[in-house]
Amino acid sequence: MKITKITTVVLLLLVVVIPWFNIDTGNDYSIPKVSQEDTSFYEVYPCKISLTEFILSNPESIYQNHFYFRPDNRSSIKCFGRVSGVTVLQKGLETQFFISIGTSSLINLLLQGLIWMVLFTLIPKNKELETSKETLRYKNLIIFLISYLLTFSIYAESRFYEKNMYLLDFQEMKSYLLIYLIFILLVKNFVEIFVSRSENLVNYSPYIYLITGLFSGFNLSFLAIVFLYYGLHSYLTGVKNQMFNYAYLIISVWWLFNSRGSAFFNVGKLRGFTSSIFEFNANLYWILFTYLLIKGIWRIYSLNKKSFNLSTFTKNLSITSTLLLIIGTLSANFPIFNFFSYYFLGLQRYGVESKAPFAFSQDVYELKISWRGIFPSSETIGEFYGLCILFLLFHIINSSKISPLNYIGIFASSLGLYFSDNRTSIVLIFLSTLIYVSIKSGMSLKLVKLKYVGLVALTLSAILIFAIQSSSFLDSYKFMSDAIISKAYIFKKEYAISSFTSLISGLESSSASSTVFGFISVVGYLLNRSEMWGIFVARYNPTYSELLFGSGPLNFGQLYGEVPVNSPDSFLLPHSSILSYLVFIGLIPLVILLIVFLKDLYTNRDNLEFLIFSIFIFTNIFKNDSMNYLSPFVLYATFYLLVKNKKDLISSKKSFIEQ
């Protein structure tokens, strides 16, 4: 067992290190240092110097923060691991050096895929191999179908890939054949690995925050293959959830019928979990992807819920939060580490460059500057740290055997949460812990009186939010209820007004919908979301049917492509997963989901852990874009299923089977 692990680690190290030694042995170059005055050597000799040679000639590039190593996916295969160009930029007093490293997209598929597969083998295998037999039905068919689906995504989003592939003709079948075969090889080997470890998939799910598994140059996540596999397996073996299947089929027909025109979307930090274009083929791919993802998560949970192990899960939460913090700090301090973490962990965005996670703004407000580490969003990683703290705290409260790792996890998560400056999570943790401890100790409250507790908690939260934003006291309700629409008017262009702006501004003040929207606006104001939601209103331009049924899952093309707004320079998401999903699936499915959620809350009203975690997750996704990232989507869904279906998941000594 130990020998296998050592072999795995050695193999991993070799795979990680070797590509950056791609030296041009045919020539002997005298490599100069890069300087502000002269980068001519790198202009004359692109793709001749390996990354290792560059670092040896410029050792300061390892630690000096004005060096930026960037993958050049649109480079030749021969150029892999070599410096394909150097650009000098002057930003204020700082001279920045951008060093492009050749990372051919085709090689990325194989290299990154291999690394992640090797990492996956570190997950312990199933105790009984027989249990995995059921999941092997239709295995080969599923492998071919997934490979086909992934290749189809390249075809569907060829406009995105044209910018990321070097000399690959997207009009030729030959190009797709190569990609298809690479996918078959990857999927086949990966399936063999994860099927034999299926029991531990839920226990090791927190690592999805650490290893996002995005192929450099692709809008694809390697880890999504796991969910696609189980999703397809669930479909082919006829696992019954007819209601969902029929509803999804009907709405999909509408989405496809509605996929007219073409609107490109710069995926940015949402890469791997959003469509790069609003078109028929791309919409078809993301409809299938989302369907299989949901079914896959459900299938993995239902097949492996009995294998859920609380101590392993908490251990992995602790390790993940600690590693996120350590790697984030290293990435911020060492440019070369920033590049490697981006590449080897398959990140959506380069790690943060700020070396000062404790920093406050220099203006009159002196606000804490959020620090996100290697995760693309500081708020979302704050939620993760918050979830870790809650889970670990509850575990510590209930367990007599606490590993030191749990304390390290609590410390790392607390620090990470403070760095991320997610104040909502901080407030929710405080309230949740207070309620949990009170009820568990039986000192003051009984679980049956939870509705009163909820009411008090809600009132306290409202007061606290009011207190944080003390100026709010002076503002009238009317002002707050008009906050979003007035912001929308600020951001809209004179010549282009979105249908949603017209709809809201046309509401009669006495109508019920106006009251509802006014209340949402007040909540948005209190959560400091008026501006973001105002921009959303100014942009969102649905037809009546699109408002009711959306325009397709994970597709922002229409929202960002139709109506121009006077938006700030940077790219801004809606800052509410509810608003994102309003664009994707529309009002009716969203309301149905909300009803299902409320019904779940009511049915499980005596399940304290479920109530706390689901309210924590819901509050965060209400005011944040979390559900636009694959990692939170998977973890929250798994978490929700876990705590919903097992009362006292953390405090109970009984396993799933016993319950």
Residues that bind other proteins (CB under 8 A): 76-78, 106-107, 110, 166-168, 177-178, 181-182, 184-185, 188-189, 192
Closer to other proteins by Cβ: residue 78 or 478: 78
SS3 282: helix
> Nearest distance from residue 588's CB to other proteins, in Å?
46
* Amino acid sitting at position 474: L
Kindly write down the DSSP assignment for every residue of 173-185, as one continuous string: HHHHHHHHHHHHH
Closer to other proteins by Cβ: residue 45 or 166: 166
How far CA 138 is from CA of 22, 144, 145, 225, in Å, comes to: 41, 10, 10, 15
> Nearest distance from residue 483's CB to other proteins, in Å?
50
101 bridge partner residues: 71, 83
> Nearest distance from residue 171's CB to other proteins, in Å?
13
Provide, for the chain, the percentages of residues in helix, strand and coil under a 3-state DSSP scheme, each rounded to the nearest 5: 60, 5, 30
Token reading at 90 = 């002057």
Matching residue, tokens 């040679």: 53
CA-based nearest residue to 62, from 334, 327, 330: 334
Closer to other proteins by Cβ: residue 146 or 393: 146
Beta carbons of 388 and 409 less than 8 angstroms apart: yes
Closer to other proteins by Cβ: residue 31 or 110: 110
Closer to other proteins by Cβ: residue 106 or 453: 106
Output b/e per residue, 157-190; b: 16+ Cβ within 10 A.
bbebbeebbbebeeeeeebbeebbebbbbbbeeb
Kindly write down the DSSP assignment for every residue of 417-463, as one continuous string: HHHHT-HHHHHHHHHHHHHHHHHHHTSS--GGGHHHHHHHHHHHHHH
> Nearest distance from residue 29's CB to other proteins, in Å?
19
CA-based nearest residue to 299, from 211, 359, 345, 235: 235
> Nearest distance from residue 110's CB to other proteins, in Å?
8
In 173-309, where does DSSP find H-type helix? 173-195, 224-236, 242-258, 280-304
- Whole-number Å distance between alpha carbons of 474 and 533: 22
> Nearest distance from residue 47's CB to other proteins, in Å?
10
> Nearest distance from residue 79's CB to other proteins, in Å?
10
Angle between helices 608-623 and 630-645 (to 10 degrees): 160
CA 27 to chain centre: 44
> Nearest distance from residue 153's CB to other proteins, in Å?
19
> Nearest distance from residue 42's CB to other proteins, in Å?
17
Closer to other proteins by Cβ: residue 172 or 353: 172
- Whole-number Å distance between alpha carbons of 70 and 98: 7
Token reading at 596 = 């299902």
Closer to other proteins by Cβ: residue 182 or 535: 182
CA-based nearest residue to 612, from 639, 578, 577: 639
> Is beta strand 67-72 parallel, antiparallel or unpaired with respect to 94-102?
parallel
> Nearest distance from residue 178's CB to other proteins, in Å?
5
- Whole-number Å distance between alpha carbons of 352 and 65: 11
Closer to other proteins by Cβ: residue 133 or 446: 133
> Nearest distance from residue 78's CB to other proteins, in Å?
6
- Whole-number Å distance between alpha carbons of 397 and 437: 8
How far CA 64 is from CA of 232, 333, 337, 352, in Å, comes to: 48, 8, 11, 14
Closer to other proteins by Cβ: residue 80 or 584: 80
Closer to other proteins by Cβ: residue 203 or 216: 216
Closer to other proteins by Cβ: residue 110 or 460: 110
Token reading at 602 = 């009511």
> Nearest distance from residue 14's CB to other proteins, in Å?
17
Closer to other proteins by Cβ: residue 190 or 340: 190
> Nearest distance from residue 220's CB to other proteins, in Å?
17
Closer to other proteins by Cβ: residue 80 or 633: 80
How far CA 12 is from CA of 112, 115, 212, 344, 486, in Å, comes to: 11, 6, 17, 11, 55
